[in-house]
Amino acid sequence: MESRRPIKKIALVILSILVCALFAGAILLHHFWPFTEGSVRSRLAETLSANVKFGSFHEKYFPPGCIAENVSFQRNGSGPPLISIRRLTIRSSLLRLLGHRISLLRAEGMHVTLARSDFSRNKSSDQQTTVDKFVADDAVLEIPQHGRNHPLRFVFHKFQLDNLGGADAIKFAALFDNPMPAGVIRTSGQFGPWNSSDPSSTAVSGNYSLANADLSVFNSIGGVISSDGNFRGKFKEIEVEGSATVPQFEVSSTQHKLPLRTRFTAAVNAINGETILRRVKGNFGRDEIQAHGTIGRRPDGKRAAIIDLNCDRGRIEDTFYPFIKAPKSPITGNVAFQMHVVIPSGHERFLKTESRLSKIAERPSQKEPDGTNLTDLGGQVMVRNGIAQFTQLSARDGDASALLRGAYDLTSERVNMHGRLTTKASLTKTTSGIKAAFAKALEPLFKKGPHSKVVPVKISGTFHHPNFGLDTNSNM
């Protein structure tokens, strides 16, 4: 019995040391515990440079963490909060706490009102805690728009960040509703390391897909667009490469639809939304088109897409079909053209569509070109509000040529053209081409001989019932 007493004494000493250690640990843990209401509020306020308020706060010890409800972040004394969260859950483990890490940060019912100036604010350099996973499903992001009553509203069905606050890149994945054009975007990738001195220079890369986006938000056009691609660069200049398809692209005023397919490269400024279309290669109906342009604010402060198009190989019935109300295009033929298009946002219609036709070749009665007996046309045209204004329309058919100017109404098909016809031969035996069109009206001028003639001419009426004649009011 006496031999057991030293063992009991040693056990009592060890037990006393453990009790003292646990007691001291409890005191230290209580003093340095990171999930007290004051500590959490202070850290959140420091991270976002905002005043933080809790509706209620509950500490959790197993596992370590806390739950805060009705959380608000306020930077200004008035106005809506920068961020409001219905329920904020923070969870970690003792091992991760030693490494200044949090296992999970979940924000339920989060609503963010973010001005573009908020993006340029520096991230706190004192932030040392890393969040392994940040989840904010069903969150709402609103960005006020200059000169508009309603902000851009993004609804995030899924949103997750991994390694938030870490020294390495932050991974992201999101599924959200895009407001303009309205559609669903799925994206994933990474950004960082975070550039605290210039956040807009932070590197970003990833991929995206856009599904079922409604183009009618732009009022002047319509159709449902789908797109996918990849991107990399910096937030202020993201290089995007992708493809887009609109099975039934239409101009709203005519509701005529043609398929549009494109591949493109672009540079996007994620801070202000400005986009530079570096290269676009597409098919619009049977037109093969190359384009470049910009999407952003015009000098008047309104947003618009300003695009220059070039087509070396196309069909004019497809080129003009979306702009006319007739069930069939009154003009057919192979065409090459250059076009300058301005598509405004909101409720404005096309501001301006300027085109320069390089070549049209084919008789109107032909369904397909046969390469023989054609009239070659070329010129410059500006199309605005459905009216094609020709400044220099040249037509050549063998030894005859015409130079015309005037207007053609794509909607009513009415023609009002004036110019001059030059020919070296008699018109009586001509059965096709521009000579045949003017033969009846101008043949009396050739009775003295088939030598060269230059005469003023005009075309009036409609496309299907044109009137060709001598322009007696010409100053030529």
Q: For 161-179, what is each residue's pLDDT tens digit?
A: 998 887 888 999 999 988 8
Task: Tally the C-alpha atoms within 13 A of residue 236's C-alpha that lie toward its C-beta.
Answer: 9
The pair of structure tokens assigned to 434 is 């521009």
Selected residue with higher pLDDT from 359 and 292: 292
Q: Which two tokens stand for residue 443?
A: 């043949």
212, 184 contact by CB (below 8 A): yes
Pair 349, 219: CB distance under 8 Å: yes
Is residue 201's pLDDT more than 70?
yes
Q: How far apart are CA 476 and CA 474, in angstroms?
A: 5
Give residues with Cβ within 8 angstroms of 465, minimum separation 6. Answer: none
- Alpha helices by DSSP H, listed for 87-163, are 94-98, 116-119
Average pLDDT rounded to a whole number, residues 16-32:
48
pLDDT at 353: 58
**Cα 43 to Cα 126: distance, rounded to the nearest angstrom:** 10
Under DSSP, is residue 278 helix (H, G, I), strand (E, B) or coil? strand
Position 369 pLDDT exceeds 60: no
pLDDT per residue over 84-122, tens digit each?
999 999 888 777 666 678 888 899 999 988 765 555 555
Confidence class of residue 357 from pLDDT cuts 50, 70 and 90? Answer: low
State the residue for tokens 């609103």: 142
Going from the C-alpha of 317 to that of each of 246, 310, 327, 361, the distances in angstroms are 19, 16, 11, 12
* H or E segment and range at residue 7: helix 4-32
Q: Above 90 in pLDDT, residue 262?
A: yes
Angstrom distance (rounded) from CA 347 to CA 148: 13
Confidence tier at 24 by pLDDT (50, 70, 90): very low
Top pLDDT among 398 and 414 is at: 414
Q: Is 11 exposed, middle or buried, given 0-12, 13-18 or 19+ CB atoms closer than 10 A?
A: exposed
The dihedral built from the CA positions of residue 357, 362, 365 and 366, taken in this order, carries a sign that is negative
Task: Quote the CA–CA distance of 3 and 224 in Å, as a whole number.
Answer: 91
Q: Which residue has the higher pLDDT, 367 or 130?
A: 130
- Mean of per-residue pLDDT scores for the chain: 77
Task: Please state the domain extents for the chain.
Answer: 34-179, 386-476
Task: Give the pLDDT score at 231.
Answer: 95
CA–CA dist 219, 223 (Å, integer): 11
Lowest mean pLDDT among 21-35, 231-245, 442-456: 21-35
